[in-house]
Structure 1
Amino acid sequence: MEKQIIKTSNAPAPIGPYNQAIKAGNTLYISGQVAIDPVTNEVKKGDVVAETHLVMKNLQAILTEAGYTFADVVKSTIFIMDMNDFGKINEVYGQYLDGSYPARETVQVAGLPKGVSVEISMIAVK
């Protein structure tokens, strides 16, 4: 099985030794995305709703670059700093999906890169 690196300038560049996504066969593995504006490379933090929208837009840009959509997502992992934000994050997350929701877990963590409030990774299959 061939491994293909997926890169787009419409999502933030990696902040470490990893890629935005890897396509292996018909499966796309998207690295965790945080609220970094791909145009300015600035972190947007403070408002968890705005952060989550930016994270979802970054994920959408990577999916699009690879030829996938949110409908192809089979698994999501959401990391959040404060479980009290779960409802707000969940509401935004749901706006990007068409009702055929993927499997998912949401985990509260002690810290996230760049001090953001939310990070989301995805796996998609065609």
Structure 2
Amino acid sequence: MDQRVINPWEWSIAYGFQQAVEVTGEQRTLYCSGQTSVDKDGHPQHEGDMTAQAHLALDNLETVLGDAGMSPENIVRLNVYTTDVDAFFGASESLGERMGRTGYVVTMTLLGVARLAFPELLLEIEATAVA
């Protein structure tokens, strides 16, 4: 599989996403359900803490990827749903550092929503990965 990043404007890189990622030669595509800040039994964690919730959601996403024989480097698309866009931007520096360290090269859409499945949840991360 080959990936080619397309960025006619470079401002998005500072926000941790690419304008487009072209994928050729892929054999498998994995569509991941939205991952949230829940423990292994599905109980919400870190109420009120956007940064902690985002990191646990990424932990959960990486677990799903690992079970499929993939890693963050295979992700080409993230959709992030949040009940608090400003709090998400407040957590973005920490998230950007982690994503840069672990190989995420993604396109991304951030959407503000009224609520998620459980009222305690502040964000949900949905991914598409290819290998």
TM range (shorter): 0.7 to 0.9
TM-score (normalizing by structure 2)? 0.70
TM-score (normalizing by structure 1)? 0.73
Answer yes or no: is the 8 Å Cα contact 2:32–2:126 preserved in 1: yes
Give how far 1:41 is off.
Answer: 3.3
1:77 aligns with: 79
1:96 aligns with: 99
Identity of aligned residues (%): 30
> Are residues 100 and 122 of structure 1, via their aligned partners in 2, closer, same or farther at CA, if it must alter by over 3 Å?
closer
How many residue pairs align between the two structures? 101
1:12 aligns with: none
Map 1:110-121 → 2, pairs under 5 A: 110-115=114-119, 116-121=121-126
CA deviation string 1:10-49 (max 9, x = no partner): xxxxxxxxxxxxxxx50000000111111x5321121111
> Are residues 101 and 41 of structure 1, via their aligned partners in 2, closer, same or farther at CA, if it must alter by over 3 Å?
same
95-104 or 25-34: bigger deviation: 95-104
Letter in 1 for 2:113: V
Answer yes or no: is the 8 Å Cα contact 2:76–2:129 preserved in 1: yes
- The higher-RCO structure (CA 8 Å, 6+ apart) is 2
Choose which of 108, 111, 126 in structure 1 pairs with 2:112: 108
Letter in 2 for 1:123: T
Give how far 1:58 is off.
Answer: 0.2
Answer yes or no: is the 8 Å Cα contact 2:72–2:103 preserved in 1: no
2:53 aligns with: 51
Choose which of 115, 125, 129 in structure 2 pairs with 1:124: 129
Give how far 1:87 is off.
Answer: 1.9
Does the residue aligned with 1:96 lie in a helix, a strand or coil?
Answer: helix
In our comparison, the structure showing a higher alpha carbon Rg is 2
> Are residues 56 and 92 of structure 1, via their aligned partners in 2, closer, same or farther at CA, if it must alter by over 3 Å?
farther
Gaps of 5+ in 1: 1-24
Answer yes or no: is the 8 Å Cα contact 1:56–1:96 preserved in 2: no
Does the residue aligned with 2:118 lie in a helix, a strand or coil?
Answer: helix
Letter in 1 for 2:105: Y
